[in-house]
């Protein structure tokens, strides 16, 4: 049987997206695989029989594993490997990593607040309060982007005023390339369960809607990394 561990990258046929394994368990003849699709950050669980796991799941080798092959890879492949590793670890040595990967021209007070006062704290718990138009949404998005790059955040809940919900969703997509699923009445007409949040780890909801008892109970069932 194919050997898969937590943290491995896989490709599950017929999907073409790469996925990262966050959970794997075996019961009898069945293997349950929990994965997060890398581009979309959508989580999903699959159940396979042991005999079909090798046919439907392809493990993607780690970058360094290619250098254990014989004969050794070419110089060009080595240069590509080093560049890929540099980009992958950019957040570890670039203190302003998210500034370079977002579609925003930041103002000095925003950089100062995020990188000198918020992110250096061991536990990031802050209230951003400022006059209208001074970029509170941008600062919150920058903090989120940095914490995600550092692996500290996966599940995010944005609770915003109803009249600003569309604006927050649009700005997160356009400026930070972060997609949020609106939690609203239309979704409630469908079957909403904790599994919904596994598939959609980034949720935005209006303050008025979140006040409803059934919504509060639903959101309280989940553990949020960033609120």
Please report the pLDDT score of residue 185 as a whole number: 83
Residues 19 and 9 in one domain: yes
The total number of structural domains that make up the chain: 3
Residues 176 and 128 in one domain: no
Q: How confident is the model at residue 202 (pLDDT cuts 50, 70, 90)?
A: very high
Task: Write out pLDDT tens, residues 154-174.
Answer: 889 999 999 999 999 998 998
Q: What is the mean pLDDT of the chain?
A: 81
Q: Is the pLDDT of residue 130 over 80?
A: no
Residues 75 and 101 in one domain: no
Rounded distance, CA 46 to CA 34, Å?
6
Residues 33 and 80 in one domain: yes
The more confident residue out of 72 and 19 is 19
Residues 118 and 180 in one domain: no
Q: Quick one: average pLDDT of 111-134?
A: 79
Please report the pLDDT score of residue 204 as a whole number: 94
Q: Is the pLDDT of residue 196 over 80?
A: no
**Whole-model pTM?**
0.60
Task: Write out pLDDT tens, residues 43-90.
Answer: 888 888 888 888 888 888 776 666 666 666 677 877 777 777 766 666
Residues 109 and 190 in one domain: no
Q: Quick one: average pLDDT of 13-19?
A: 85
Please report the pLDDT score of residue 126 as a whole number: 79
Residue 38 burial (CB count, 10 A): 12
H-helix or E-strand spanning residue 214: helix 213-220
Please report the pLDDT score of residue 40 as a whole number: 72
Domain that holds residue 142: 91-153
Asked which of 75-79, 93-97, 177-181 is least confident by mean pLDDT, the reply is 93-97
Please report the pLDDT score of residue 95 as a whole number: 63
Rounded distance, CA 51 to CA 31, Å?
10
Residues 131 and 212 in one domain: no
Q: Is the pLDDT of residue 21 over 80?
A: yes
- Cβ(199)–Cβ(154) below 8 Å: no
Residue 48 burial (CB count, 10 A): 17
């Amino acid at each position: 049987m194919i050997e898969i561990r937590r943290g491995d990258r896989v490709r599950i046929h017929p999907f073409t997206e790469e996925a990262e394994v966050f959970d794997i368990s075996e019961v009898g003849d069945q293997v349950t695989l929990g994965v997060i699709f890398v581009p979309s950050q959508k989580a999903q669980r699959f159940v396979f029989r042991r005999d079909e796991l090798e046919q439907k799941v392809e493990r993607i080798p780690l970058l360094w594993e290619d250098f254990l092959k014989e004969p050794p890879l070419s110089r060009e492949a080595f240069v590509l490997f080093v560049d890929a590793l540099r980009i992958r670890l950019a957040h570890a040595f670039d203190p302003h990593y998210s500034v370079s990967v977002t579609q925003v021209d930041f103002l000095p007070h925003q950089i100062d607040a995020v990188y000198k006062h918020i992110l250096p704290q061991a536990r990031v718990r802050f209230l951003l309060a400022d006059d209208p138009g001074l970029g509170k949404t941008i600062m919150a998005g920058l903090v989120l982007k940095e914490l995600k790059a550092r692996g500290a955040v996966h599940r995010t809940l944005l609770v915003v005023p109803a009249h600003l919900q569309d604006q927050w969703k649009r700005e997160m997509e356009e400026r930070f390339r972060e997609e949020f699923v609106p939690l609203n009445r239309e979704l409630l007409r469908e079957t909403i369960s904790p599994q919904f949040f596994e598939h959609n780890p980034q949720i935005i909801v209006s303050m008025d809607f979140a006040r409803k008892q059934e919504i509060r109970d639903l959101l309280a069932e989940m553990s949020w990394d960033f609120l």
